[in-house]
Protein backbone atom coordinates (compact mmCIF):
# COMPACT_ATOMS: atom_id res chain seq x y z
CA UNK A 1 0.00 0.00 0.00
CA UNK A 2 1.35 3.42 -0.94
CA UNK A 3 1.58 5.91 1.93
CA UNK A 4 2.27 9.63 2.08
CA UNK A 5 5.86 8.64 2.80
CA UNK A 6 6.41 6.28 -0.12
CA UNK A 7 5.36 8.80 -2.73
CA UNK A 8 8.77 10.41 -2.14
CA UNK A 9 10.54 7.22 -3.27
CA UNK A 10 9.70 7.70 -6.94
CA UNK A 11 12.34 10.15 -8.21
CA UNK A 12 10.96 13.05 -10.19
CA UNK A 13 12.81 15.14 -12.74
CA UNK A 14 13.50 18.70 -11.63
CA UNK A 15 14.31 21.40 -14.14
CA UNK A 16 16.85 23.79 -12.62
CA UNK A 17 16.85 27.16 -14.30
CA UNK A 18 18.63 30.23 -13.05
CA UNK A 19 19.10 32.13 -16.30
CA UNK A 20 21.98 32.30 -18.76
CA UNK A 21 23.84 35.07 -16.93
CA UNK A 22 25.87 32.60 -14.86
CA UNK A 23 27.22 29.04 -15.22
CA UNK A 24 26.82 28.53 -11.47
CA UNK A 25 23.84 29.11 -9.19
CA UNK A 26 24.35 29.75 -5.47
CA UNK A 27 21.43 30.08 -3.05
CA UNK A 28 20.17 29.44 0.46
CA UNK A 29 17.28 27.01 0.98
CA UNK A 30 15.20 26.97 4.15
CA UNK A 31 11.68 26.14 5.30
CA UNK A 32 9.60 24.33 2.69
CA UNK A 33 12.38 24.58 0.11
CA UNK A 34 14.57 22.46 2.37
CA UNK A 35 12.01 19.65 2.50
CA UNK A 36 12.84 18.12 -0.85
CA UNK A 37 11.03 15.44 -2.76
CA UNK A 38 13.12 12.56 -4.06
CA UNK A 39 14.38 14.08 -7.32
CA UNK A 40 17.16 14.30 -9.88
CA UNK A 41 18.48 16.81 -12.39
CA UNK A 42 21.30 17.01 -14.98
CA UNK A 43 23.25 19.55 -12.92
CA UNK A 44 25.62 18.68 -10.08
CA UNK A 45 24.85 19.99 -6.61
CA UNK A 46 27.05 20.88 -3.66
CA UNK A 47 24.94 21.15 -0.50
CA UNK A 48 26.03 22.44 2.90
CA UNK A 49 23.34 21.41 5.43
CA UNK A 50 23.31 23.54 8.58
CA UNK A 51 21.50 22.75 11.84
CA UNK A 52 19.64 20.00 10.02
CA UNK A 53 18.54 16.69 11.46
CA UNK A 54 16.62 14.12 9.49
CA UNK A 55 17.23 11.57 6.75
CA UNK A 56 19.19 11.78 3.53
CA UNK A 57 18.55 9.54 0.51
CA UNK A 58 21.05 9.07 -2.33
CA UNK A 59 20.08 6.37 -4.80
CA UNK A 60 18.98 3.49 -2.57
CA UNK A 61 21.08 4.57 0.43
CA UNK A 62 19.25 6.07 3.43
CA UNK A 63 20.88 7.25 6.64
CA UNK A 64 20.21 9.58 9.53
CA UNK A 65 21.73 13.05 9.68
CA UNK A 66 22.47 14.39 13.14
CA UNK A 67 24.87 17.29 12.48
CA UNK A 68 26.12 19.63 9.78
CA UNK A 69 27.20 17.87 6.60
CA UNK A 70 28.32 18.76 3.07
CA UNK A 71 27.26 16.58 0.14
CA UNK A 72 28.38 16.57 -3.49
CA UNK A 73 25.66 15.01 -5.65
CA UNK A 74 26.37 14.06 -9.25
CA UNK A 75 24.26 14.66 -12.33
CA UNK A 76 21.03 12.65 -12.61
CA UNK A 77 21.60 11.01 -9.22
CA UNK A 78 18.28 10.65 -7.31
CA UNK A 79 18.50 12.32 -3.91
CA UNK A 80 16.44 14.01 -1.25
CA UNK A 81 16.63 15.38 2.30
CA UNK A 82 13.79 15.04 4.78
CA UNK A 83 14.43 17.06 7.90
CA UNK A 84 12.58 16.82 11.19
CA UNK A 85 9.98 19.54 11.43
CA UNK A 86 10.33 19.93 15.19
CA UNK A 87 13.63 21.72 14.48
CA UNK A 88 11.69 24.68 13.08
CA UNK A 89 10.55 25.72 16.54
CA UNK A 90 13.71 25.20 18.58
CA UNK A 91 14.47 28.29 20.65
CA UNK A 92 17.93 29.82 20.65
CA UNK A 93 19.13 27.91 17.61
CA UNK A 94 19.58 28.91 14.01
CA UNK A 95 16.80 27.59 11.79
CA UNK A 96 17.64 24.63 9.51
CA UNK A 97 19.00 25.82 6.18
CA UNK A 98 21.34 24.83 3.37
CA UNK A 99 23.80 26.67 1.18
CA UNK A 100 23.37 25.15 -2.29
CA UNK A 101 25.73 25.43 -5.26
CA UNK A 102 24.36 24.11 -8.55
CA UNK A 103 26.49 23.79 -11.66
CA UNK A 104 26.67 22.03 -15.01
CA UNK A 105 29.28 19.32 -15.58
CA UNK A 106 30.96 21.56 -18.17
CA UNK A 107 30.71 24.82 -16.25
CA UNK A 108 34.25 25.64 -17.43
CA UNK A 109 33.60 24.49 -20.99
CA UNK A 110 34.14 21.05 -22.54
CA UNK A 111 37.77 21.76 -23.47
CA UNK A 112 38.67 22.43 -19.83
CA UNK A 113 38.73 18.73 -18.96
CA UNK A 114 41.04 17.97 -21.88
CA UNK A 115 44.02 19.53 -20.10
CA UNK A 116 46.02 17.23 -17.78
CA UNK A 117 45.67 19.49 -14.74
CA UNK A 118 41.88 19.06 -14.71
CA UNK A 119 41.72 15.25 -14.93
CA UNK A 120 41.51 14.81 -11.15
CA UNK A 121 38.50 17.15 -10.97
CA UNK A 122 36.86 15.26 -13.83
CA UNK A 123 37.27 12.02 -11.87
CA UNK A 124 35.81 13.67 -8.78
CA UNK A 125 32.69 14.80 -10.66
CA UNK A 126 32.28 11.29 -12.07
CA UNK A 127 32.56 9.80 -8.56
CA UNK A 128 29.89 12.25 -7.38
CA UNK A 129 27.28 10.20 -9.27
CA UNK A 130 27.38 7.92 -6.23
CA UNK A 131 27.10 10.88 -3.85
CA UNK A 132 30.09 12.13 -1.86
CA UNK A 133 30.13 13.11 1.81
CA UNK A 134 32.85 15.67 2.53
CA UNK A 135 35.06 14.58 5.44
CA UNK A 136 34.99 16.32 8.80
CA UNK A 137 38.52 17.63 8.32
CA UNK A 138 37.58 19.58 5.18
CA UNK A 139 33.97 20.39 6.07
CA UNK A 140 34.49 23.78 7.73
CA UNK A 141 36.87 25.02 5.04
CA UNK A 142 34.50 24.01 2.22
CA UNK A 143 31.48 25.46 4.06
CA UNK A 144 33.24 28.82 4.43
CA UNK A 145 34.13 28.89 0.74
CA UNK A 146 30.54 28.08 -0.20
CA UNK A 147 29.23 30.94 1.92
CA UNK A 148 31.76 33.26 0.29
CA UNK A 149 30.29 32.30 -3.09
CA UNK A 150 27.01 33.95 -2.08
CA UNK A 151 28.74 37.34 -2.41
CA UNK A 152 30.89 36.59 -5.44
CA UNK A 153 30.07 37.33 -9.05
CA UNK A 154 31.39 36.57 -12.48
CA UNK A 155 34.64 34.68 -12.86
CA UNK A 156 35.44 34.98 -9.14
CA UNK A 157 32.49 32.69 -8.42
CA UNK A 158 33.85 30.08 -10.85
CA UNK A 159 37.32 30.32 -9.32
CA UNK A 160 35.91 29.68 -5.84
CA UNK A 161 34.04 26.61 -7.07
CA UNK A 162 37.25 25.34 -8.69
CA UNK A 163 39.06 25.96 -5.41
CA UNK A 164 36.48 23.83 -3.56
CA UNK A 165 36.67 20.98 -6.06
CA UNK A 166 40.46 21.12 -6.08
CA UNK A 167 40.52 21.00 -2.29
CA UNK A 168 38.25 17.96 -2.13
CA UNK A 169 40.05 15.96 -4.83
CA UNK A 170 43.49 16.36 -3.23
CA UNK A 171 43.10 13.07 -1.34
CA UNK A 172 40.52 10.29 -1.28
CA UNK A 173 40.26 10.68 2.51
CA UNK A 174 38.65 14.08 1.90
CA UNK A 175 35.35 12.43 1.01
CA UNK A 176 33.33 9.26 1.49
CA UNK A 177 31.23 7.55 -1.20
CA UNK A 178 27.65 7.55 0.07
CA UNK A 179 25.71 5.41 -2.36
CA UNK A 180 25.65 1.63 -1.86
CA UNK A 181 25.76 0.93 -5.58
CA UNK A 182 29.05 2.52 -6.54
CA UNK A 183 30.36 -0.64 -8.27
CA UNK A 184 27.22 -1.38 -10.26
CA UNK A 185 24.08 0.10 -11.76
CA UNK A 186 24.89 1.56 -15.16
CA UNK A 187 28.49 2.43 -14.32
CA UNK A 188 31.05 2.70 -17.11
CA UNK A 189 34.43 1.24 -16.09
CA UNK A 190 37.28 3.65 -15.49
CA UNK A 191 39.56 1.95 -18.02
CA UNK A 192 37.02 2.78 -20.73
CA UNK A 193 37.35 -0.71 -22.25
CA UNK A 194 34.85 -0.97 -25.11
CA UNK A 195 34.32 -4.69 -24.53
CA UNK A 196 33.29 -4.05 -20.95
CA UNK A 197 31.00 -1.28 -22.11
CA UNK A 198 29.28 -3.86 -24.31
CA UNK A 199 28.91 -6.23 -21.35
CA UNK A 200 27.53 -3.44 -19.12
CA UNK A 201 25.00 -2.44 -21.80
CA UNK A 202 23.91 -6.03 -22.44
CA UNK A 203 23.42 -6.66 -18.71
CA UNK A 204 21.40 -3.46 -18.27
CA UNK A 205 19.06 -4.52 -21.09
CA UNK A 206 18.69 -8.21 -20.18
CA UNK A 207 19.20 -8.49 -16.39
CA UNK A 208 15.48 -9.27 -15.93
CA UNK A 209 15.73 -12.24 -18.29
CA UNK A 210 17.63 -15.53 -18.19
CA UNK A 211 21.24 -14.58 -18.96
CA UNK A 212 23.76 -17.17 -20.17
CA UNK A 213 27.48 -16.52 -19.92
CA UNK A 214 28.20 -17.92 -23.38
CA UNK A 215 25.70 -15.45 -24.86
CA UNK A 216 27.41 -12.54 -23.12
CA UNK A 217 30.82 -13.82 -24.23
CA UNK A 218 29.69 -13.97 -27.85
CA UNK A 219 28.79 -10.27 -27.71
CA UNK A 220 32.49 -9.43 -27.44
CA UNK A 221 33.74 -12.31 -29.61
CA UNK A 222 35.25 -14.40 -26.82
CA UNK A 223 34.78 -18.00 -25.82
CA UNK A 224 33.05 -18.65 -22.52
CA UNK A 225 36.35 -19.57 -20.82
CA UNK A 226 38.23 -16.57 -22.22
CA UNK A 227 35.41 -14.22 -21.24
CA UNK A 228 35.38 -15.50 -17.64
CA UNK A 229 39.13 -14.90 -17.33
CA UNK A 230 38.86 -11.49 -19.02
CA UNK A 231 36.01 -10.28 -16.80
CA UNK A 232 37.65 -11.47 -13.57
CA UNK A 233 40.93 -9.71 -14.44
CA UNK A 234 39.18 -6.46 -15.37
CA UNK A 235 36.69 -6.28 -12.49
CA UNK A 236 38.03 -8.56 -9.70
CA UNK A 237 34.72 -10.45 -9.70
CA UNK A 238 33.05 -13.14 -11.76
CA UNK A 239 30.35 -12.16 -14.23
CA UNK A 240 27.69 -13.98 -12.21
CA UNK A 241 28.72 -12.02 -9.10
CA UNK A 242 28.31 -8.83 -11.10
CA UNK A 243 24.95 -9.94 -12.54
CA UNK A 244 23.52 -10.89 -9.14
CA UNK A 245 24.76 -7.63 -7.63
CA UNK A 246 23.20 -5.67 -10.49
CA UNK A 247 19.89 -7.49 -10.01
CA UNK A 248 19.92 -6.85 -6.26
CA UNK A 249 20.63 -3.17 -6.90
CA UNK A 250 17.57 -3.01 -9.15
CA UNK A 251 15.56 -4.93 -6.53
CA UNK A 252 16.44 -2.36 -3.86
CA UNK A 253 15.22 0.43 -6.12
CA UNK A 254 11.93 -1.42 -6.72
CA UNK A 255 11.51 -2.08 -3.00
CA UNK A 256 11.97 1.64 -2.37
CA UNK A 257 9.28 2.49 -4.93
CA UNK A 258 6.91 0.13 -3.07
CA UNK A 259 4.84 -0.62 -6.16
CA UNK A 260 5.42 -4.40 -6.24
CA UNK A 261 5.34 -7.11 -3.60
CA UNK A 262 8.65 -8.69 -2.56
CA UNK A 263 7.76 -11.76 -4.62
CA UNK A 264 7.02 -9.67 -7.71
CA UNK A 265 10.29 -7.74 -7.27
CA UNK A 266 12.30 -10.98 -7.28
CA UNK A 267 10.78 -12.21 -10.53
CA UNK A 268 10.94 -8.74 -12.13
CA UNK A 269 14.71 -8.68 -11.50
CA UNK A 270 15.37 -11.96 -13.30
CA UNK A 271 15.41 -14.46 -10.45
CA UNK A 272 13.78 -17.75 -11.44
CA UNK A 273 12.87 -18.70 -7.87
CA UNK A 274 12.08 -16.83 -4.68
CA UNK A 275 14.55 -18.96 -2.74
CA UNK A 276 17.42 -17.85 -4.99
CA UNK A 277 16.30 -14.22 -4.77
CA UNK A 278 16.26 -14.35 -0.97
CA UNK A 279 19.60 -16.18 -0.90
CA UNK A 280 21.38 -13.69 -3.17
CA UNK A 281 19.80 -10.68 -1.45
CA UNK A 282 20.86 -11.88 1.99
CA UNK A 283 24.34 -12.77 0.72
CA UNK A 284 24.91 -9.25 -0.62
CA UNK A 285 22.87 -7.12 1.81
CA UNK A 286 23.21 -9.26 4.98
CA UNK A 287 19.46 -9.19 5.47
CA UNK A 288 16.29 -10.44 3.78
CA UNK A 289 14.36 -8.27 1.26
CA UNK A 290 11.54 -7.85 3.78
CA UNK A 291 13.93 -6.83 6.57
CA UNK A 292 15.57 -4.35 4.18
CA UNK A 293 12.17 -2.83 3.36
CA UNK A 294 11.14 -2.60 7.02
CA UNK A 295 14.43 -0.96 8.01
CA UNK A 296 14.23 1.45 5.08
CA UNK A 297 10.74 2.67 5.96
CA UNK A 298 11.54 2.76 9.69
CA UNK A 299 14.44 5.14 9.05
CA UNK A 300 12.27 7.48 7.03
CA UNK A 301 9.55 7.56 9.69
CA UNK A 302 11.99 8.67 12.40
CA distance 158 to 21: 13
**Length of the chain (residues):** 302
Stretches where the chain sits below pLDDT 50 are: 1-8, 181-192
Query: What does the pLDDT read at residue 258?
Result: 82
Name the β-bridge partners of 103. Answer: 24, 44
Q: With left for phi above 0 and alpha for psi between -120 and 50, is residue 45 left, alpha or beta?
A: beta
Rounded distance, CA 114 to CA 3, Å?
48
pLDDT in tens, 114-154: 899 999 999 999 989 889 999 999 999 999 999 999 999 88
CA–CA distance, 35 with 87 (Å, rounded to integer) = 12
Q: What is the DSSP letter of 156?
A: H
d(C-alpha 269, C-alpha 209), whole Å: 8
Residue 229's pLDDT is 92
71, 56 Cβ separation under 8 angstroms = yes
pTM of the model: 0.65
Provide the pLDDT for residue 189.
43
**What φ, ψ does residue 167 adopt, rounded to 5°?**
-65, -45
pLDDT (0 to 100) of residue 280 = 95
Residue 191 has a pLDDT of: 40
pLDDT of residue 68: 86
Domains of the chain, start order:
6-177 (2.60.120.280), 194-301 (1.10.10.60)
Q: Could you tell me which residues come within 8 angstroms of residue 46 by beta carbon, excluding any fewer than 6 positions away?
A: 70, 71, 72, 73, 100, 101, 102, 103, 146, 161, 164
- Axis-axis angle for helices 224-235, 194-206 (nearest 10): 100
Phi, psi of 44 (to 5 degrees): -80, 160
What is the distance of C-alpha 127 from the center of its chain?
Answer: 9
**Distance from C-alpha of 260 to C-alpha of 297, rounded to nearest angstrom:** 15
200 closest CA partner among 251, 234, 229? 234
Pairing relationship of beta strands 79-83 and 69-73 according to DSSP bridges:
unpaired
Q: How far apart are CA 10 and CA 250, in angstroms?
A: 13
Amino acid sequence: METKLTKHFQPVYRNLEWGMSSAVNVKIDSGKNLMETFHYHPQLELISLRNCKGNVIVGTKVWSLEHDEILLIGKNTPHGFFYRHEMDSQDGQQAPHAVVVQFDEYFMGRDFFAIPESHSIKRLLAAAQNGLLISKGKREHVANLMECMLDKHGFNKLLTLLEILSLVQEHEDNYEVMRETDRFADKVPVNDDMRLREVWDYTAKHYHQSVRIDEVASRINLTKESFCRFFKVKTSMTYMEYLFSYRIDKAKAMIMENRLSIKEVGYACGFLSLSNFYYQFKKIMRCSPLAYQNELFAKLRE
